[in-house]
Amino acid sequence: MFKLNNTSRFQPARVLWRLIRILASILIVATVALLIATTVTVLGSGDPDFQPPALPLTVNDVSKLNAVRVGQVVRPESIADVQTALSSTAGRVSIGGGRFSQGGQTAYPDSLHIDMRSFNKVLAIDVDHKTVTVEPGIRWRDLQTAIDPHNLSIKIMQTYANFTVGGSLSVNVHGRYIGEGPLVGSVLALKLMLADGSVIVASPDMNADIFYGAIGGYGGLGVIVEVSLQLEDNIAVERRVKVMPIEEYAQHFRSNVRDKQNVVFHNADIYPPHYNRLRDVSWFASDKTPTVTERLIPEDKDYYWQVKAAEFVAASNFGKWTREYFIDPIVYFPERVEWRNYEASYDVAELEPADRSEYSYGLREYFVPVERFDEFHVLMRDIFQRNKANIINVSVRHAKADPNTLLNWAKSEVFAFVVYYRQGTDAEAKAAVKVWSSEMIDAAIAMGGAYYLPYQLQASSEQFAAAYPKAQEYFALKRRLDPENRFANLLWEKYYPQNRDLLAETKANLGNYYRGEEQSFLTIPEWYLVFQPKEYADYLAEGRNPSNFPFYESIDEYWALYDRAIAISRQNYPANAEYQTMLQVIGISTTLEYLAKGAYEASIGRFTRWTASGEDTEEDKFIQQAHRAYSELIFDEAWYEFDFAAWRDRIWAETSLWGDHPLRKWERKLFFSAEFGLKSLYAKAIKYAAESTYGETDKRIYLTAQRVMSNSIRLPKEPDGVEMLAGGGDDFLMALPRWGGFTKTMPRFASDEWAIMDISGNHQIVVSLLGQAGVETSALAGSELFRSPLVSDDERERIFVLVGVADLTHFLEDLSGNQANTQLELEHIFDY
């Protein structure tokens, strides 16, 4: 009789262990394969070559931190064109030139924006008297080209020549010119156009109050339409350089620079991060033959290495040390003799980074009486080091007193501390810059000095008043010349008393009133994960085979929308790293889900569908209901609020265990249970994480609307679904439901009773439409961004349109009422 010995005896524990190891190995291999497939899919999906369109009517500045949606842009070429533009509207007017200010000083929401850059002719050159008359849109560089053949040179301008003359007058610039002060010292006369189209000639002897108000007046009084300037001879200048401890500079300047008639240009560069040494770079009048043959810096010069060097210096303290002890000694070592015009024709391209989406470079400037230099640089060092500010350079300039301009920053003889720095573009980085900048402003004011206004508008109203004590005289002049307060920009929105926001305190107390405008674009891919389940539910409701649904195409569409939204945002707005990271996380998780689901449906799902002869089982119909319920909920609630577990349990309770097509029935039960069971666990985890991180979600979004004046004395009633929170003058603060509720509610504003001023502080918003492929949208009051076909129906397209907030009600009225647009339907308004 055959007997089992000990070595061959059946051992169930060992077999079970081997089985577990095999299953674990299969699971590991499957997981690795899925992760590899996900990585390959993500890298191969999307639209990386998408070229973002220029956002219409969007005015930004060199910092790329202040995109402003204006209502209309005109580009005048004559005084008559400016008059026509002003008479074409009764609303607000903003004025822009080269747009090198860094805080919105050239733009105002929904204003008529006058872009002066085509109004740029040289009107007259008087060689004998060394004067020139120009139109305000001309760049200093173009003026240099015109006067250099006459061996003439600009008397006072800033270091870089890209700026327009009119813009420079509006901020009353200064440069490196020894013995001079602000630009006003070289202006002979100007012409200023008022809001009614009249033109006033102003000079130090004629309409002097207007002359000294318009120069340095930041476009608040009118449009400068002509200016006459005093010029100088173009001479050769020789560079001389001296490095010294910062404590020696004040005496060195008094003894060797200030009163030397042969010094033309001077600045002193203080080296971060220790701020204990500086380099005097002075240019002296010279009889030597220039070592540089060009009379002006060529406009097509390549600045690749200069930009790279600036990035290297900004990146670390090691870079700053390298600049101080290696780069600058090499740069300043050779003898250099140039023409004055050459040294005055620098191009900002030598500093301009390739991309400003994550980091931007900025300026701050502080003016301190010359006798307080030694006190101030000690305070400055402490502020910068304590706040870990990423300062690249501090350039010290000198300016004579300017006692006459109403917004004068040089009330006495001053040193200007020009601070060049790098910052991140997110909210946290901007807040950090505001801290040290505010401390610097306080330090300058404590010394009897001031700060400069063309930069970020982070100073308080109290700091502004302390630094510019004659501001009330300027405001009185503005009320006289511009009684309707037509000339506006973000600077005067903040500091001009008549622009005081009566609802500002209420908005600040809400906390969630203001949202980044870039989020209207960044929510596009996020909302695709709402649109796609609806598309899937519609697909199933039509009785179509779920195995044929284009899951892989859905993945590609998500990443295509991601690439497009990021490209548009990067080109126009500061980085929003937190939102971008969230989009990457949900994109990767969605890719994993759709890869797994697509592979399953294409294999097992397709097989069981075949066994059922392509017919829907009661489980198929139940699953259709579940996906329809899910697609409807996520328009108004966070996806993790859906009760996946309840629907998982219901499929077992509400469908029979046996019947026709049993294989398909059981496969659908098990697959649906696994899918919704996993989603139930994932949803609980995400909900816990979200609530722990962000607390309770504010399900409201806020806007400011203005009642439209009419013969009726009654107060217009807010639309259904809208809560009126507060009123201030003619403005009313309202709350609306977010997400899908916002899209449902906004069309109710489409009436003659309300004009929307802003939504969450923003003035443009993205809207998506659904329509037949190729349908025309040009008749609508918006600008098309891009479109893409639905993954399950290439005869229909999703069309993304950018709409001005002020135009949104008209856009919605046109969409619903214009017979030409019956092929279009509103899908969603992306509410930041």
Query: Dihedral, CA atoms, 801, 806, 808, 809, nearest 10 degrees?
Result: -160
Looking at the DSSP bridge assignments, the partners of residue 58 are: 69
Rounded CA gap, 73 and 85, in Å?
A: 10
**Any idea which of 288-292, 361-365, 510-514, 652-656 has the lowest mean pLDDT?**
510-514
Element (H, E) at 631: helix 618-633
Nearest to 506 by CA among 495, 498, 514: 514
pLDDT of 818 reads 57
pLDDT digits (tens, 9 = 90+) for 338-389: 999 999 999 999 988 888 888 999 999 999 999 999 999 999 999 999 999 9
User: Cβ neighbours of residue 780 under 8 Å, at least 6 residues apart?
Assistant: 801, 811, 814, 815, 818, 821
CB 50 within 8 A of CB 92: no
Q: Which tokens belong to 333?
A: 């070592």
Sign of CA dihedral 687, 689, 692, 697: negative
pLDDT digits (tens, 9 = 90+) for 186-244: 999 999 999 999 999 999 999 999 999 999 999 999 999 999 999 999 999 999 999 99
Residue 614 class from Cβ within 10 Å (0-12 exposed, 13-18 middle, 19+ buried)? exposed
Rounded CA gap, 256 and 240, in Å?
A: 12
Look at residue 498 and tell me whether its pLDDT is greater than 50: yes
pLDDT of 2 reads 38
Instruction: Count other C-beta atoms under 10 Å from residue 463's C-beta.
Output: 18
pLDDT of 711 reads 53
Element (H, E) at 73: strand 72-74
CB 424 within 8 A of CB 434: no
User: What is the reported pTM?
Assistant: 0.88
Q: DSSP letter string over 663-720? A: HHHHHHHHHHHHHHHHHHHHHHHHHHHHHHHH-S---EEEEEEEEPP-S--SPPPPPT
Mean pLDDT of 548-553: 95
pLDDT of 37 reads 80
Question: Tell me, what DSSP letter sits at residue 348?
Answer: G
**Is 363 strand, coil or helix?**
strand
CB 798 within 8 A of CB 769: yes
Look at residue 5 and tell me whether its pLDDT is greater than 50: no
Mean pLDDT of 497-524: 92
Helices H / strands E in the chain, number of each = 25, 27
| φ, ψ of residue 274 in degrees (nearest 5) | -95, -25
Mean pLDDT of 389-415: 97
Q: Which tokens belong to 455?
A: 């930069």
Q: Which is more confident, 711 or 468?
A: 468
Nearest to 771 by CA among 759, 780, 761, 781: 780
Question: Tell me, what DSSP letter sits at residue 450?
Answer: E
Q: DSSP letter string over 723-750? A: EEEEEETTEEEEEEE-THHHHHHGGGG-
**First-to-final CA distance of the chain:** 83
Look at residue 433 and tell me whether its pLDDT is greater than 60: yes
| φ, ψ of residue 318 in degrees (nearest 5) | -65, -40
Looking at the DSSP bridge assignments, the partners of residue 240 are: 282
